[in-house]
Amino acid sequence: MADRPRIVGIDLGTTNTLVASVRNRIPKIVPTDRGNLILPTVVALSAKGDLLVGGVAKDQMVTNPRNTLWGTKRLIGRKYHSKSVEDLRGSFPYDIVEGPNGDAAVMMGGKLYTLPQVSSFVLSQLKTIAEQFLGGPIDAAVISVPAYYNDNQRQAVKEAGRLAGFDVKRIVNEPTAAALAYGFNRGLDQKVLVYDLGGGTFDVSVLHLAGNVFEVLATGGDTFLGGADFDTRIMEYVLERFREETKVDLTENPIALQRIKNAAEAAKIDLTLIPNVVIDLPFIDERKGKPVDLRIPLTREFLNSLTGDLVDRTFEICDRVLEEKGIARSDIDEIILVGGQSRMPLVQQKIQAHFGKPPRKGVHPDECVALGAALLGDSLGSIDAVTLLDAVSMPIGYALPNGRVKRIIEKNSLIPMVKSFRLPPPKEPGSAYIELDIFQGDSDLMVDNEYLGTVRVPAAAAGRKIDFRLTEECLLQVTVEEASGTPRRVDLATRDTPEQLKRALSDVLRNNVDHQPVVSGSNAASDDERGLLSSIKRVFRRG
């Protein structure tokens, strides 16, 4: 009997990317960059015009910051004029620009690249590495995404996989994949909470495991809370201390900033194991022709004080997710840690204090998502396949004339699913078309949500049935009933106006609503956080 085609599992991370494969029902990480198990999610263009991916790209970040792309997972699938991208613009040394269809894109070597293209370079490198290691062609993959990704972001990741030469069999939520790695074939009957604090995002999901049935009960998160934010806190502290001690302002020096960023991340990692480190960067700058060295001690205790509020934010999200489904903390049987930042001792101490039990140590926080994705890929089409009952992380609806959103699909609805309603008449009498602007997000207000696209059909379709269908990958498909009664799938058009509309309506709406918008987390920095961070952003944009 011929072997079934091999399907690899991929964890496309903000900081690092991993690929796993299953043999004899056992998943294993494929060694990637330089024999390591992880491939840095970094893409660069060298001075000679060579495309660099992984460790070789990361090695030259300090000397080539303008043409080195990192952290792009925070940008993929977002509109250039969205608030999310506006908040991030200038946080990176490379240029973020407007790409096709109004999407965020990046510049590298004077050329525009879409975010799916950038991710495809990483995925293509993984494909080559996996084929060499496993000894044969690999054309199919299951790729994980944060549970809190919206439809645009999921579609963009799937497109990245296609560009890399993969048949993407499934997009799976990272916490769900981690739960698979934990519970597959163990015959459990448990409620587990997956606490996923990665490099760029935080996700929390509560699942009920019953044999090989994995049901997501509730999910939530923040796509702007992760290890990179912890690094930034250290970076700001180091810059401030250095300025106080030497009267030298390094925020005007892009190469020094990149060196400090790298050292801040390394110090944070070291402090998970030891209580004290010294950030030591010789010749960080010069003054009056003489070299100036940077040497600043950092303790684990002080790091906790710098970043404790970020950790607290994760538990606010956990509590909100539990409350939405009426689940008590005491109902949770196990807490599974995912993501490198979850290794922080403060995180683990606060988990024990918050839930009254320690997190489970038997699941590797860096590897479990890729392992779970590989297990899912291996089980597809087999008799004893796992059953995933996943849930949508954010509501989906369409914009009303008053700037609010009429919800069609509610948060935490099990997928796959279909919701039907009747098409309303055109917004303006006499119009030849009905246009529904589709949004996804937790707010009741259009301005606070993510624009997914526009359904545009002839005015004669008013009153006909329209279906919003969410696939098992949580991807949105829209069908409209034709005059014959036959459903016809329609593509969401991208209009030029929604983002401008959102900004124009923003002030009016915010001043006239009778309640505050319901938002999961906040993307805006507090007044206290704007000082040095704004300086860092300015110089990265100029550098």
Domain spans of the chain, in order of start: 7-185+362-386, 227-304, 396-512
Interatomic CA distance for residues 113 and 457, integer angstroms: 32
Does the structure show a pLDDT above 50 at 534? no
- pTM for the model stands at 0.86
φ/ψ of residue 289, rounded to 5: 80, 0
Task: Give the pLDDT of residue 4.
Answer: 59
C-alpha pair distances (Å), 318 with each of 349, 371, 533, 539 = 15, 24, 27, 36
Report residue 91's pLDDT band, with 50, 70 and 90 as the boundaries. Answer: confident
In terms of CATH, what superfamily is 227-304? ATPase, substrate binding domain, subdomain 4 (3.90.640.10)
Q: Which two tokens stand for residue 84?
A: 């999310």
Give the residue-averaged pLDDT of 457-471.
94
| CATH for the stretch 396-512 | 2.60.34.10
Task: Give the pLDDT of residue 163.
Answer: 98
Average pLDDT of the chain to the nearest whole number: 88
φ/ψ of residue 540, rounded to 5: -65, -35
Task: Give the pLDDT of residue 329.
Answer: 97
Task: Give the pLDDT of residue 383.
Answer: 57
Task: Give the pLDDT of residue 130.
Answer: 95
CB 279 within 8 A of CB 295: yes
38: helix, coil or strand?
coil
Interatomic CA distance for residues 467 and 4, integer angstroms: 35
Instruction: Please report where in the chains the tokens 């015009």 appear, as a residue.
Output: 49
Interatomic CA distance for residues 167 and 177, integer angstroms: 19
Q: Which of 76-85, 219-228, 430-439, 507-516 has the lowest mean pLDDT?
A: 507-516
Class of domain 7-185+362-386: alpha beta
Percentage, residues of the chain above pLDDT 70: 89
Q: Which residues of 483-516 are buried (b: 16+ CB within 10 A; e: fewer)?
A: eeeebeebebebbeebbebbeebbeebeeeeeee
Give the residue-averaged pLDDT of 285-304.
92
Task: Give the pLDDT of residue 83.
Answer: 84
Task: Give the pLDDT of residue 286.
Answer: 85
Q: Which of 168-172, 279-283, 498-502 has the lowest mean pLDDT?
A: 498-502
Please name the amino acid found at residue 409: I
Question: Which has more pLDDT, 350 or 532?
Answer: 350
Task: Give the pLDDT of residue 312.
Answer: 98
C-alpha pair distances (Å), 153 with each of 66, 127, 144, 157, 471 = 25, 21, 12, 6, 15
Does the structure show a pLDDT above 70 at 494? no
Does the structure show a pLDDT above 60 at 538? no
Q: Which of 16-20, 94-98, 285-289, 347-351 has the lowest mean pLDDT?
A: 285-289
Give the residue-averaged pLDDT of 423-447.
91
CB 102 within 8 A of CB 74: no
Give the residue-averaged pLDDT of 217-235.
94
Give the residue-averaged pLDDT of 458-475.
94
Report residue 5's pLDDT band, with 50, 70 and 90 as the boundaries. Answer: low
Does the structure show a pLDDT above 70 at 512? no
Determine which helix (DSSP H) or strand (DSSP E) holds 417, and give its type and residue range: strand 417-422
